[in-house]
Structure 1
């Protein structure tokens, strides 16, 4: 097994915003690899693609959940980077296992193999093509949609996370969830009041709105689980034990929104959610 040495912030420094700033300065996307499965360059095929994810990243967990829900465990392989990182970025260590596909010690090696000299953000999730030996995508919104829709010959036909009849509503709701929850929950803990105050207002308004919706329906868009539920849930399950615990966003726990809290706990009972969630995130605070 090939492993990276332990994370060493004292020597290398913390993983900071410099790589994100480098992308912005170069006027390129922060998540620049935006290939899509099902195109001539990346045709859908079982066993061809591999997901690199992290237990700690909600955006990566979304991909892991969708892979499980769609029944793609034997179609798209998956491995985890280590939870800790320094300025060298995500790494493979004994705690979470080696890279089973390439034997990389650092995820940056996948980026370097795709674009020599890559200076930008090293993020998860990453969808890797084992055939061409390059990154298909690190654009996390596309990865889950491709997992949900581009492997249908091998997927669980009973699960439709992104059905055509609902795609307009799902897209709009996903944009709303990103702005008002996924992004806002991080900004709500900012030490800068000018950043934190509007983010908290958006977040708590969204919690109240979705709490009312879920009092009437089991899922955000009615009786069926969709990709929007996955996007919301990864922030909800971290609210008490990560976001609010670290930054004291509110004196209230998620239990202040009873339908939202019940929904979070109910989805956690589903194998696709439970098997991809670090136990340290649960139970929800009461």
Structure 2
């Protein structure tokens, strides 16, 4: 790449506001996640230097991939880069504060999608895996990426760590859907509830799950014993954001993470690990979540319900690892 190129500044008057939905296809989700080639196959073997991942500091699903790469010692095997935290109608973009696209010189993530599939009409998302050898985007499916990077580069990693050990895989696969439904997506349910009844049910379900995790971690250092697994990584990215955005902004306001002694200590212990801390940009997380949510509230997409048990967020230092 000979020239460093960046997208122009955010301009909603010219490009419109960002939307996570597309009116141009019958199924936006199906179109968005149409890229499903797997690393470790004959066409896409696990090779050092071949793959690059487009990430975003804000996205918990993208942070999982970054943690896996760094925790397993694959940082010299698989490269990654970040996009700017804010979006207009063009979607994720490369700007000065997070750096350029080091592989293709794209200014927009959409460019990677359209260069691979010119008829793409979905919403460009992260994490997105680019194959240097074929010059195309090959996968943007959340679960595919975490499983591929957890397993297929075993001979290339520079640590002895294994976050998907054969002896625990069945238990990991039992936990992952529960974590996804109850926590990763569960934190969004109170925010998007449209009635008091649906809000109350969403909060109850979320905090029942957090209570169960608190109990589990009173008897176990990590979710499955004394070793960090893929399940811990998938849970932790939501815990990182809980008190900063989910509690005050998403109206998940019954208790904070800091009010759960075992969950809090667990989250802080993981945060102290360099691979977990590296991609934890509280400033970007807060900037994006609060900007996007304010827009949704203004448009009436998120209702301003008269929630009776709302608690004002207390000032405190977020997860510090100290």
TM-score interval, smaller chain? over 0.9
| Residue correspondence of structure 1 range 55-66 to structure 2 within 5 A | 55-66=57-68
CA separation of 1:67 and 1:108: change in aligned 2, threshold 3 A: same
The one of 255, 260, 284 aligned to 2:258: 255
Structure 2 CA distance for aligned equivalents of residues 180 and 156 of structure 1: 34
CA separation of 1:216 and 1:23: change in aligned 2, threshold 3 A: farther
Q: Does structure 1 residue 155 correspond to structure 2 residue 157?
A: yes
Structure 1 CA distance for aligned equivalents of residues 14 and 186 of structure 2: 32
Structure 1 CA distance for aligned equivalents of residues 258 and 26 of structure 2: 39
Deviations, residues 206-227 of structure 1 (Å, cap 9, x unaligned): 1000111111111001111000
What TM-score, normalized by structure 2, do the two folds share? 0.84
Structure 2 unaligned residues grouped into runs of 5+: 286-316
Deviations, residues 227-277 of structure 1 (Å, cap 9, x unaligned): 000000000010011111223321421122110111111100000001111
The one of 273, 278, 287 aligned to 1:275: 278
SS in 2 for 1:217: coil
Point out the structure with max Rg over C-alpha. 2
Q: Does structure 1 residue 9 correspond to structure 2 residue 12?
A: yes
Structure 2 CA distance for aligned equivalents of residues 162 and 99 of structure 1: 31
Deviations, residues 142-200 of structure 1 (Å, cap 9, x unaligned): 10111111111111352111112221211120000000000010122225135433322
Structure 1 CA distance for aligned equivalents of residues 31 and 177 of structure 2: 18
Q: Could you tell me whether the CA contact under 8 Å between 1:37 and 1:150 is conserved in 2?
A: yes
Q: Could you tell me whether the CA contact under 8 Å between 1:62 and 1:234 is conserved in 2?
A: yes
Deviations, residues 103-135 of structure 1 (Å, cap 9, x unaligned): 000000110011112001210001110110111
Structure 2 CA distance for aligned equivalents of residues 24 and 205 of structure 1: 35
| Residue correspondence of structure 1 range 114-153 to structure 2 within 5 A | 114-153=116-155
SS in 2 for 1:216: coil
Match of 2:304 in 1: none
| Residue correspondence of structure 1 range 214-233 to structure 2 within 5 A | 214-233=217-236
SS in 1 for 2:192: coil
Match of 2:173 in 1: 171
SS in 2 for 1:274: helix
SS in 1 for 2:232: helix
What TM-score, normalized by structure 1, do the two folds share? 0.94
CA separation of 1:101 and 1:205: change in aligned 2, threshold 3 A: same
Q: CA deviation at 1:17?
A: 3.3
Match of 1:111 in 2: 113
CA separation of 1:46 and 1:199: change in aligned 2, threshold 3 A: same
Structure 2 CA distance for aligned equivalents of residues 10 and 197 of structure 1: 38
Deviations, residues 5-61 of structure 1 (Å, cap 9, x unaligned): 112223222221332x65553783542211110111111100000011001110100
Structure 1 unaligned residues grouped into runs of 5+: none
Structure 2 CA distance for aligned equivalents of residues 53 and 210 of structure 1: 28
